[in-house]
Amino acid sequence: MRVLIPYLLRLALLVILIAFLVVPGWFDPLLKPLVRDNAPAIYNQGSLLTLTLLHLRTVAIATTGAILVAVTLAILVTRPFGAEFLPLSRSLVNIGQTFPPVAVLALAVPILGFGEKPTLVALFLYGLLPIFENTLTGLTTLPSSVMEAARGSGMTDRQRLFKVELPLAMPVILAGIRLSVVISLATATIGSTVAAKTLGEVIIAGLQSNNIAFVLQGGLIVGALAVLIYDGFSAIEHVLARRAGLPARA
Amino acid sequence: MIEIDGITKRYDGNTVVNNVSMMIEPRTVTVIVGTSGSGKTTLLRMINRLVEPTSGAIRLDGEDNRSMPGFELRRRIGYAIQGHGLFPHRTVAQNIATVPVLLGWDRARIDAKVAELLTLFQLDPAAFANRFPHELSGGQQQRVGVARALAAEPKVLLMDEPFGALDPIIRAKAQADLLAIQSLLGTTIVLVTHDMDEAFHLAHKIAVMDKGALVQYGKPAELVKDPATEFVQTLIGTSERPFRLLSIETAGDAVEPGPADGKPLAETISQRDALSELLWSGRAAVPVVAADGTVLGKVTLEGLTRRAAKPQ
Amino acid sequence: MSIRFDKLGVVTALLIAYGALAAPFATFRANRIVPGDAKGILDALPVGPGMLLLGLMACAALIVLLKTPTRLRLTVAALGLASIAVFIGMAATHLTPPANAYARVSPASGFWILLFSFALLAADSITRLRPLPLVRVLLLAITLGGAAVVLMSGLWDGLSILKEYSGRADVFWLEAGRHVTLALGSLFASVLVGLPLGILCHRVAPLRAGVLNTLNLIQTIPSIALFGILIAPLGWIAVNVPGAAVIGIRGIGAAPAFVALFLYSLLPVVANTVVGLAGVPREANEAARGIGMTDRQRLFGIEFPLAMPVILTGVRIVLVQNIGLATIAALIGGGGFGVFVFQGIGQTAMDLVLLGAVPTVVLAFAAAIVLDALIEMNAPQRERSRAA
């Protein structure tokens, strides 16, 4: 029974989240005490469900792009012909992480204008880093005896990559993607400062009209999404790691 | 037959293997020994072209090993390494099937081969085929590693410190198994080790490497009787020499005519073990019998002592 | 000796060629919000300096294209950066009509591409040279010093970003001070609380999961929401707790921003302390116990020094993250460089955005370099000698 409690909690969180998005009116009494002067307690300038879906779509597009680019790059710099770029790519990743997301967002606006595009670029650039770093870690820390055996048994470079290296590195790569998605979910809210349609709109509307209820619901929806997606990814990683015969990571 | 012909490997002007030539007879066990950094592993890895030589050539049954792409060559040569190198994300059966799958064998042939090898290595196919490497003991992992190397029925098996990670008891068992399987399959084995006892136990011929050069290549007895350099002498161990000599030949080779009392010894045990038995039981002579029980004669303390003495 | 090309050099040289020849160097606008008029190097500069800059870029491209000594490449990178810095200033002076306070000249894509190329080259050379930590900090100081000299000399005064600055010099430094105070203050607070909490979690295993999970949960709440959510409780405290308002606790402003940054910072500090302490080799701990060290002696004499690099890595994450997140404080009236960013976005005045964004990036970057150097100096001797 005790083993089930975490799953039940997550299921409950998912149910509450969906209920809130579909019939927010039910939660009106809960949030009412937070607002003054009969201000609305539930976001009323658009559908929460639509904003949530748009939010997720933005994150999904940016993350997909980031995965494709980051994994490809990491594979390239770990091949013999790209090895020369490995130290540099490490430094660039390190430097890239020092760019604050707000700055990336703000600097993308002059080139791309307002709306979803600068947000996508900021999320993409910021999402690259954890995935790249983890893929690199995954591909460079493979047990040397396994790699030696793969070469020794006559696998071609391509067979080694797809049959041994990537499957073994997959749990670490997924952990990077998970980190990237969670960061992107939170960062996407800032996109609303440049008029992207995300849940940030709810929060900013709350800040502007001094409506704590708005801020709270916007923040909690994003938080709940992050927790659920984080757990989902962790579960997949766990299964993969177990199947790969690797010690399960926390 | 493996012909190593004037092989040299340099890294940035650093000569790791220096002009090594040697001939490896088919269906024998050749052990390459040397200290770490002597170039023994590099020499081994040049046979299946995991390392490309700077100059020289290696021929397998007369065919230059550069006549085909490296990966195709490696599919035809077995390779087993220290720490087994099993693929952790694949089952025991999938691991063993690695090279047959690469070679495109059909399913039934692969399954049969996997079962055959597991049985040969005393692992019950029903119990082990679908396990993952991390679910096996160290000794079992090592056996699967050798089984994988033998899966495509290679004529040549290269082994790089294959028993290095095993504890002494399991290692002795693994060495005995290897000898049995070698004589059964007739595989040509080239094995690298730094363990002199292992070399004397397994080798038909021993190659000693020092600082990249092949300093001596011969039968174990030749090394003891006539070490080519001081290094070979040190490697064999000055105080060990008489016992090494005795460990090469069997009690049957040292039989003298005449009767003796006490529990007889088998003719197949090494002279070293026979000496040990004489010393421990405090006798001057013991009878030696053949496998069928006929008495062949006796071994004496005096006779063995003479055999262990420095050859004149 | 045959001519050999450098792989990265080919990319860099192509970028330099594109940035110098094909892309506009500077943008001229009649005032701060109208669309600009992009100008190439020869249009943006008088003939002489224009040709000179093109010549310099050609030399630089040639040197980086071939396999040349790394030190030479680093010098080329430094000179390249210095020359585009000087020439963009000259372009601003050249393009601005005399006595026109409304005209704006800003760096255009060509300038940014050149800046990126030389920065890439510098990063590559420095990566290959692997300088000691102190040398890296010195290089940073020289770069920042160089930029400061150019700023003081008035060379860049014609650039739009400095025109935005000149109207707001007082506010700029005020907000800079608030930004640094927010970022550093919350860092100190989180170390003060996080370090003992981390030690506690290390020693008392049952606490660990609970504390780390809670801190993880906080991280999932988006920063702008957390900032906003904290307005309510802090507002309540300001009104209801005597003395709270006097020490500056208010519902909006710096207080919720400070608390939010503090909460975000706790996870990296606590988690890295736990990981660092857990990573202390068992044998070291056993030996310390074996020779009769007390728990306290073991903590300060063995565990802390060995865990220090990991703990410092946590501090680095926090500092860089806080410098970035502090920009968001502006949304709830907390001040900082974010004020210019969001004002700029509001007025679609990108120069103003840059005035906020550039110092933030520079600050975060400098903090990362300094802390990386510190981490490396604290790493065990063995690793340092390997890195050298």
Could you give phi then psi for residue C46, rounded to 5 degrees?
-60, 160
Of A152, A156, A245, which has the smallest distance from its Cβ to B81's Cβ? A152
Report the share of chain A in percent with pLDDT over 90.
Answer: 28
Q: Which chain B residues have a beta carbon less than 8 Å from that of A156?
A: 71
Contact at CB, A102 and C324, closer than 8 angstroms: yes
- For C289-303, the DSSP string reads HHTT--HHHHIIIII
Pairing outcome for strands B2-11 and B55-60:
antiparallel
Of B86, B102, B132, which has the smallest distance from its Cβ to A154's Cβ? B102
Contact at CB, C127 and A91, closer than 8 angstroms: yes
Nearest CA in chain A to B46: A152
Check pLDDT > 70 for residue C2: no
Contact at CB, B50 and A152, closer than 8 angstroms: yes
Helical (H) or strand (E) element with B286: strand B285-289
Q: Which chain A residues have a beta carbon less than 8 Å from that of B50?
A: 148, 151-152
Least confident of A90-99, B262-271, C111-120, C303-312: A90-99
Can you give the pLDDT at residue C245?
Answer: 67
Can you give the pLDDT at residue A21?
Answer: 87
Q: What is the dihedral of CA B200, B201, B202, B207, to 10 degrees?
A: -10
Contact at CB, A149 and B71, closer than 8 angstroms: no
Contact at CB, A154 and B73, closer than 8 angstroms: yes
Distance, CA of C151 to chain centre: 19
Q: How many CB pairs under 8 A join A and C?
A: 141
Q: Say how far apart CA C59 and CA A176 lie, in whole Å.
A: 41
A115 to chain C, closest Cα gap in Å: 12
Helices C133-153 and C70-95 pack at an angle, to 10 degrees, of 20
pLDDT (average), residues C179-203: 93
Contact B/A (≥3 CB pairs under 8 Å): yes
Strand partners, B297: B288
Can you give the pLDDT at residue C352?
Answer: 87
In terms of Cα–Cα distance, which of A133, A130, A134, A112 is closest to A121?
Answer: A112
Nearest CA in chain A to B150: A153
Of A148, A154, A167, which has the smallest distance from its Cβ to B85's Cβ? A148
Whether A248 and chain B come into contact, CB under 8 Å, resolves to: no
Q: Which chain A residues have a beta carbon less than 8 Å from that of B83?
A: 143, 145
H helix count then E strand count, chain B: 14, 13
Helices within C130-230 (DSSP H only): 133-153, 160-167, 169-203, 205-220, 223-229
Q: Is the ipTM of this complex over 0.85?
A: no
> Sheet harboring C37-39: ordered strands across?
C37-39, C26-29, C104-107
Contact A169, A75 (CB under 8 A): no
Could you give phi then psi for residue C102, rounded to 5 degrees?
-90, -25
Contact C/B (≥3 CB pairs under 8 Å): no
Q: Say how far apart CA C380 and CA B203 lie, in whole Å.
A: 45
Q: Which residues contact C333 (CB under 8 A, 6 or more apart)?
A: C252, C253
Contact at CB, C127 and A223, closer than 8 angstroms: no
Instruction: Provide the chain A residues 153-192 that lie in CB contact (below 8 A) with chain B.
Output: 153-156, 159, 164, 167-168
C359 to chain A, closest Cα gap in Å: 10
With vertex at residue A35, the alpha carbon angle to CA A30 and CA A41, rounded to the nearest 5 degrees, is: 55
Contact C/A (≥3 CB pairs under 8 Å): yes
And the tokens for C381?
């001797």
Could you give phi then psi for residue A245, rounded to 5 degrees?
70, 25
Q: Which residues of B touch A (CB under 8 A)?
A: 48, 50, 71-76, 79, 81-89, 98-99, 102, 132-135, 145, 148-149, 158
Nearest CA in chain A to B135: A245
Q: What residue ranges of chain B have pLDDT lower than 70?
A: 311-312
Q: Render pLDDT for A193-239 as a digit per residue (tens, 0 to 9).
A: 888 889 988 988 888 887 888 888 888 899 899 889 988 888 888 88
Q: Which chain A residues have a beta carbon less than 8 Å from that of C350?
A: 109-110
Of A87, A103, A206, which has the smallest distance from its Cβ to C357's Cβ? A103
Q: Which of A37-46, A224-233, C231-240 has the highest mean pLDDT?
A: A224-233
B205 to chain A, closest Cα gap in Å: 24
Nearest CA in chain B to A166: B89
Q: Say how far apart CA C365 and CA C371 lie, in whole Å.
A: 10
A84 to chain B, closest Cα gap in Å: 17
Nearest CA in chain A to C347: A194
Nearest CA in chain B to A240: B89
Contact at CB, C222 and A185, closer than 8 angstroms: yes
In terms of Cα–Cα distance, which of B284, B288, B212 is closest to B18?
Answer: B212
Check pLDDT > 90 for residue A28: no
Of A97, A187, A215, which has the smallest distance from its Cβ to C228's Cβ? A215
With vertex at residue A69, the alpha carbon angle to CA A67 and CA A74, rounded to the nearest 5 degrees, is: 90
B142 to chain A, closest Cα gap in Å: 12
Contact at CB, C368 and A95, closer than 8 angstroms: yes
Query: For chain C, what's the residue count?
Result: 388
At residue C381 the predicted structure's pLDDT band, cuts being 50, 70 and 90, is low
Of A193, A204, A219, which has the smallest distance from its Cβ to C226's Cβ? A219
Contact at CB, C217 and A99, closer than 8 angstroms: no
Q: Render pLDDT for A127-185 as a digit per residue (tens, 0 to 9).
A: 888 899 899 989 998 888 899 999 999 999 999 999 999 999 998 999 899 989 988 99
Check pLDDT > 60 for residue C26: yes
Cα end-to-end span (Å), chain C: 30
Can you give the pLDDT at residue A250?
Answer: 35
Can you give the pLDDT at residue A186?
Answer: 87
Distance, CA of B271 to chain centre: 21
Report the share of chain C in percent with pLDDT over 90.
Answer: 21
Can you give the pLDDT at residue B49?
Answer: 92
Q: Which residue is it, tokens 């030589």?
A: B53
What CATH number belongs to A46-243?
A: 1.10.3720.10
Q: How many CB pairs under 8 A join A and B?
A: 72
Contact at CB, C124 and A90, closer than 8 angstroms: no
CATH 1.10.3720.10 is the classification of domain C169-387:
yes
pLDDT (average), residues C39-48: 85
Domain boundaries, given as residue ranges, for chain A = 46-243
Q: Which chain C residues have a beta carbon less than 8 Å from that of A187?
A: 222
Check pLDDT > 90 for residue A9: no
Domain boundaries, given as residue ranges, for chain C = 7-130, 169-387
Could you give the 3-state DSSP secondary structure of residue B158?
A: strand
At residue C387 the predicted structure's pLDDT band, cuts being 50, 70 and 90, is very low
Q: Say how far apart CA C197 and CA C194 lie, in whole Å.
A: 5
Q: What is the dihedral of CA B18, B23, B26, B27, to 10 degrees?
A: -70
Q: What is the dihedral of CA C370, C371, C372, C374, to 10 degrees?
A: 90
Can you give the pLDDT at residue C388?
Answer: 32
Output Rg (C-alpha) for chain B, integer angstroms: 22
pLDDT (average), residues A78-90: 84
B312 to chain A, closest Cα gap in Å: 46
Contact at CB, B89 and A245, closer than 8 angstroms: yes
Contact at CB, C364 and A99, closer than 8 angstroms: yes
Of B83, B88, B98, which has the smallest distance from its Cβ to A153's Cβ? B98
Could you give phi then psi for residue C123, rounded to 5 degrees?
-60, -45
Contact at CB, A149 and B87, closer than 8 angstroms: yes
Q: What is the dihedral of CA B116, B122, B126, B128, to 10 degrees?
A: -110
More confident position, C384 or B147? B147
Contact B136, B144 (CB under 8 A): yes
At B279, the amino acid letter reads: L
Long-range contacts of C207-214 (CB under 8 A, 24+ apart): C208/C274, C211/C270, C212/C267, C212/C270, C212/C271, C212/C274
Can you give the pLDDT at residue C220?
Answer: 80
Helices A116-140 and A48-77 pack at an angle, to 10 degrees, of 40
Contact A123, A188 (CB under 8 A): yes
Q: Say how far apart CA B158 and CA B77 lie, in whole Å.
A: 7
Can you give the pLDDT at residue A69?
Answer: 93
Q: Residue C92: exposed, middle, or buried by beta-carbon count in 10 A (0-12, 13-18, 19+)? A: buried
Nearest CA in chain A to B80: A149
Check pLDDT > 80 for residue A38: no
Check pLDDT > 50 for residue C384: no
Helical (H) or strand (E) element with B39: none
DSSP conformational letter for A199: T
A231 to chain B, closest Cα gap in Å: 23
DSSP conformational letter for B245: H
